[in-house]
Structure 1
Amino acid sequence: MAETHKKTVQPNKQALLNRLKRVEGQVRGLHRMIDEDKYCVDILHQISAVESALKNVSLVLMEDHAKHCMVKAIQNGNQEETIEELMDIIKRMK
């Protein structure tokens, strides 16, 4: 996975960090459930909850990116690159 060196100020940084802390706790819970031989269906429900929580983090980040980074890039004349980047993001999230 290629990492860019672009930086930005995350407008919802604290909310994102809080969500990720909850996800981290959910993942620790999954580890504990497996270690304690919990019922498979219960573990699968928890996995689904983690996946959903991460998708929500992604959606918040995508919205912030569209409202801030993309708008700025388009205003600076980088329409093609911005659209290509957006399509790459959508393909990865799919």
Structure 2
Amino acid sequence: MNENTKTAAVKRLARIEGQVRGVTGMVRDDRYCIDILRQVQAIKAALGSLEAVILQDHLSTCVDHALRADDLEERRAKVEELVAVLGGRRK
């Protein structure tokens, strides 16, 4: 992961962590369910954005490197990883 992506990811994760702590407090305080659900949706959106940033970095570094390499097995492995992650399966 390049340094700019790493810095951005850590900042986003800190923000998400704060949001999760906030939702924990809302649940403890017995806040209105819809308000809690809205915050959960915001967390999911933030995680989706983080996922997109990390995926873009992976594509432009690791996958690009593998595709330019002469090692066919490395190419296949990177494609299989992407298919597994984007398809929702775990490797």
The interval holding the TM-score normalised by the smaller chain is 0.7 to 0.9
Residue 26 (structure 1) aligned with residue 5 (structure 2)? no
Q: Which has the higher helix share?
A: 2
Structure 1 unaligned spans of 5+: 1-7
Structure 2 unaligned spans of 5+: none
Task: Return the letter of the residue paired with 2:79.
Answer: I
Q: Residue by residue, what CA displacement relative to the aligned partner does 1:23-70 show, whole Å, maximum 9, x if unpaired?
A: 000000000000111000000000000011011111100000001100
Overall identity of the aligned pairs, in %? 35
TM-score of the superposition, structure 1-length normalised?
Answer: 0.84
Following the alignment from structure 1 to structure 2, what is the Cα–Cα distance between the partners of residues 19 and 11? 12
**How many residue pairs were aligned?**
86
Residue 87 (structure 1) aligned with residue 83 (structure 2)? yes
Following the alignment from structure 1 to structure 2, what is the Cα–Cα distance between the partners of residues 43 and 10? 34
Q: Alpha carbon RMSD of aligned pairs, Å?
A: 1.5
TM-score of the superposition, structure 2-length normalised?
Answer: 0.86
